[in-house]
Structure 1
Amino acid sequence: MRSAPHLHLAVWALLLLHFAAFVPEARAQQEIDDESEFSYDSRSENGPENWGKIKEEWVTCATGRVQSPIDLSDRHAAQAPNLGYLHHSYRPAEASIVNRGHDITVTFQRDAGSLWINGTAYHLRQVHWHSPSEHHLNGRQYSLELHMVHLSAENKAAVIGRLYKIGRRDHFLHELEPYLRRMAGMKEKEEKVGVVDPWEARGDGEAYYRYMGSLTTPACDEGVIWTVIKRVATVSTHQLKLLTDAVHDGFEMNARPLQKLNGRYISFFCPHDDHERYYAAADH
């Protein structure tokens, strides 16, 4: 990985302040409502390449300059030790699971805790999954991606992304398996699942990428602070099938294609003890 210029952290801070002040609010409610007008089929008239033409309010999907997802390449990432460890205070909370047609979402009914970024609290609202992963790591796409969607008091969005490869079962999904089976093919079906601990969704891994982007479903609103965990988790083939079987036909693969970087900074935070391991991996 290339060393960051000394000015990088200062530039990143200025960019973050710029987006927070001037970019239209990322309406994360768009991550909650079902949008039956769009699809992920590149051959379809309402596929990803045409999202910006479907509705006037979705034009940012086509014209936006800081769209998500992107390829998180170590060649374009700069070390940012001053970002520090992720500061969050998650707590178990009552939740429900919803089949939105294009994905499965766990929505928290009560306070499930917050993620703090630059002194601002972003409150956890919901988590959902995309298969295959939307973000790539060094050109590689993974089997699944979890999004933890947070909102500030000003309705600004911050999302934590976690990638999965096929392997051992994921404990968070394991707890939800009975509900996933009942969700299959049931559009807008919602069930209460009792108390859910979001810390289990967050999982392990302290190293992460940070960049400014957008929501990955229409209206593709920009101004989203993205945090993607470096360590790839595992999910079983059975669990992945439960998620894809539950959504509607045509949404089994619900990942938006990669978007252009357009000169954006990608910052990378890595705990000091892990530097050698991650950099060695990046060189191979």
Structure 2
Amino acid sequence: MGAKKFTVFIILVGIASLLVAYVNAHDHMAKFGYTGLLGPEKWGSLSPEYLACSNGNIQSPINIEKNNVVRSAKLEPLAREYKPANATLVNNGFNIELRLQGNAGSLLIDGESYILKHMHWHSPSEHTIDGNQYPAELQLVHQSHNGNISIVAILFQFGDPDPFLFQINDHLDRLAKESCEADEEAQIPIGVLRSKQIKQVTQVHFRYVGSLTSPPCTQNVIWNILGKVREMSKEQLAALKAPLHEDYKCNSRPTQPINGRSVELCKSDFY
């Protein structure tokens, strides 16, 4: 090999090494998106682990049609009991998440206890009601001891500030600054999180069986959509979006086909 070709070879190897290093450094970041070649309609082809995103027949989110829900006599009001727990605010690339440590409280469904593990926001809302989409949706993810998942979803419209978000306002500002300075997952410990404000009583909720709304789109998730739409300010939603890359500021999956599933309604007589 001549000296010139050898030099070119060394340069190409160097470039390849940099590319590999870059990919490895970003390997933990989301390899799916919400637009273009990484958008929801492509998720099923991005990885064998994501096949359910395209092949699953009980996918989420869905549009809830009030005229078609089934009022269930056996469906009881949600039994939730949350308690203060240490939390970490995380920008995981495709949404803003609060990860909880230890036992942060539980949700009781059909006699089975589901422990609150984390919560995250989507904007605009992923679930819709009679075709109406809301500015934001908070999803509280619970898991039972045998790995079953149940999620409580809270829809938000613009209005008065959400008291719960006051606890993390300053931390969101810090997260936005750290996210701008580094491409890797940014985490901000926030200490003890008081979850009382996310347990407001609501006498109406919808339940159906679906999936995770982001890859790998795991199915057989029990969804509980609260009927009471809460409020947050436009400034609070902007703060939640600020740490995210521009491509992920709108991070809601389109609604999926019902495919014959029933949506149950729990509505107390005194509501």
Matched, 1:88 2:80: yes
Residue pair 2:29, 2:185 contacting (<8 A) in 1 also:
no
Q: 1:249 to 1:117 in 2, by over 3 A?
A: same
Query: CA deviation digits over 1:130-154, x for unaligned, max 9?
Result: 0000000111000000000000111
Provide the residue aligned with 1:37 in structure 2.
Answer: 31
1:193-232 equivalence runs, <5 A: 193-232=190-229
- TM-score, normalization: structure 1? 0.82
Q: Tell me which amino acid in the other structure corresponds to 1:64.
A: G
Query: CA deviation digits over 1:33-75, x for unaligned, max 9?
Result: 965210011xx11110010000011000000000000001112
Provide the residue aligned with 2:249 in structure 1.
Answer: 252
The Cα shift of 1:127 comes to 0.6
Provide the residue aligned with 1:179 in structure 2.
Answer: 171
Mean CA deviation greater in 206-215 or 179-188: 179-188
Matched, 1:59 2:51: yes
Residue pair 2:80, 2:199 contacting (<8 A) in 1 also:
no
The Cα shift of 1:157 comes to 0.4
Matched, 1:100 2:92: yes
Mean CA deviation greater in 72-81 or 59-68: 72-81
Where do 4+ consecutive residues of structure 1 move more than 4 Å?
none
Matched, 1:46 2:38: yes
Matched, 1:239 2:233: no
* Alpha-carbon distance between aligned partners in 2 of 1:247 and 1:202, rounded to the nearest angstrom: 27
Same amino acid, percent of matched pairs: 35
* Alpha-carbon distance between aligned partners in 2 of 1:139 and 1:53, rounded to the nearest angstrom: 28
What stretches of structure 1 of length at least 5 have no aligned partner? 1-32, 275-284
- TM-score, normalization: structure 2? 0.86
* Alpha-carbon distance between aligned partners in 2 of 1:199 and 1:247, rounded to the nearest angstrom: 27
What stretches of structure 2 of length at least 5 have no aligned partner? 1-26
* Alpha-carbon distance between aligned partners in 1 of 2:156 and 2:201, rounded to the nearest angstrom: 12
**RMSD, aligned CA:** 1.3
Q: Tell me which amino acid in the other structure corresponds to 1:193.
A: I
Q: Tell me which amino acid in the other structure corresponds to 1:182.
A: R
Which of 121, 140, 145 does residue 137 from structure 2 map onto? 145
Query: CA deviation digits over 1:222-251, x for unaligned, max 9?
Result: 010000000100010100000111211200
* Alpha-carbon distance between aligned partners in 2 of 1:128 and 1:182, rounded to the nearest angstrom: 17
Q: Tell me which amino acid in the other structure corresponds to 1:103.
A: N
Name the count of aligned residue pairs: 240
